[in-house]
């Protein structure tokens, strides 16, 4: 089986690293594991993998610290955060700092593989299409991260959270987090107001 791409797994728990490396390798991915953030950051800056899976709880630097240093909101590869049920607020914060989505523990192999595959395929589709409808014509465009602009494009197309999540390879809950962030940045009162702010300027 030809390798599908390289995936970086960052977790201080050897059992989690080994389990993720095994299931992803069996699917045809080349997996590189890291037990600490420093080693990961050095490698991630030198080359971009197909996907990153990062534990939110790391010794020394937290997953959030690593995301900030990586500038994950502008990093080309999708980054998943691994979080437990009690870490949901932290996972939401991670999304605001550039993580694509989060994978809740306990997770099963099939779910992880599906989420990773969907995210990589969505990234490839967007790269191939490269036809952002929004352009750069509305006030506040520069305040949005690349991922927020992708979500906004789906909103202006009339996509539901579920539909937008399917296109972008992320969960509907994560779309909702981005939607709230976009509305806050652009000063929109609701989704309809958001669309008016964006499309009004495009039509001029």
Q: Which domain CATH number covers 145?
A: 1.10.10.10
Boundary (domain end) residue, out of 113, 128, 143: 128
99 and 31 part of one domain: yes
Length of the chain: 204
Is 110 a domain residue?
A: yes
Q: Tell me the C-alpha to C-alpha distance, in Å, between residue 187 and each of 92, 143, 161, 179, 184.
A: 20, 12, 20, 12, 5
Is 42 a domain residue?
A: yes
Boundary (domain end) residue, out of 101, 128, 155: 128
24 and 124 part of one domain: yes
Is 81 a domain residue?
A: yes
168 and 94 part of one domain: no
89 and 160 part of one domain: no
Is 104 a domain residue?
A: yes
22 and 80 part of one domain: yes
pLDDT given at position 199 = 67
Is 1 a domain residue?
A: no
Q: Where are the alpha helices (DSSP H) in 5-108?
A: 14-26, 37-46, 63-70, 88-96
16 and 82 part of one domain: yes
114 and 179 part of one domain: no
pLDDT given at position 85 = 65
121 and 137 part of one domain: no
Boundary (domain end) residue, out of 128, 160, 179: 128
72 and 84 part of one domain: yes
pLDDT given at position 203 = 40
How many domains does the structure of the chain reveal? 2
pLDDT given at position 157 = 76
Is 22 a domain residue?
A: yes
57 and 120 part of one domain: yes
DSSP-based three-state secondary structure for 97: coil
Contacts 24+ apart (CB under 8 A), 138-145: 138/186, 138/197, 138/198, 138/200, 138/201, 138/202, 139/186, 139/197, 139/201, 140/185, 140/186, 140/187, 140/197, 143/185, 143/186, 144/182, 144/185, 144/186, 145/73, 145/74, 145/98
Is 101 a domain residue?
A: yes
Q: Which domain holds residue 104?
A: 6-128
Q: Are 9 and 20 in contact (CB under 8 A)?
A: yes
pLDDT given at position 40 = 94
84 and 12 part of one domain: yes
User: Per-block average pLDDT, block size 10, for the chain (204 residues)?
Assistant: 77 92 94 93 92 88 89 88 77 86 85 90 69 60 82 82 84 88 85 72 42
pLDDT given at position 9 = 96
Is 141 a domain residue?
A: yes
23 and 86 part of one domain: yes
């Amino acid at each position: 089986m030809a390798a599908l791409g390289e995936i970086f797994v960052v977790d201080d728990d050897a059992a989690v690293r080994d389990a993720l490396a095994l299931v992803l390798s069996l699917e045809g991915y080349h997996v590189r594991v890291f037990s600490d953030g420093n080693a990961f950051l050095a490698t991630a800056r030198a080359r971009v993998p197909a996907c990153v899976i990062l534990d939110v709880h790391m010794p020394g630097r937290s997953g959030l610290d690593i995301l900030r240093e990586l500038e994950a909101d502008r990093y080309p590869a999708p980054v998943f955060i691994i979080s437990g049920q009690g870490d949901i607020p932290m996972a939401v914060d991670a999304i605001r700092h550039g993580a694509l989505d989060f994978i809740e523990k306990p997770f099963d192999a099939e779910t992880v593989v599906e989420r990773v595959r969907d995210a990589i395929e969505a990234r490839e589709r967007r790269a191939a299409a490269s036809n952002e409808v929004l352009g750069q014509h509305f006030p506040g465009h520069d305040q949005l991260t690349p991922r927020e602009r992708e979500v906004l494009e789906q909103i202006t197309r009339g996509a539901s959270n579920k539909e937008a999540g399917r296109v972008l390879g992320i969960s509907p809950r994560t779309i909702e987090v981005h939607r709230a962030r976009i509305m806050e940045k652009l000063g929109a009162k609701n989704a309809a107001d958001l669309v008016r702010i964006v499309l009004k300027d495009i039509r001029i």
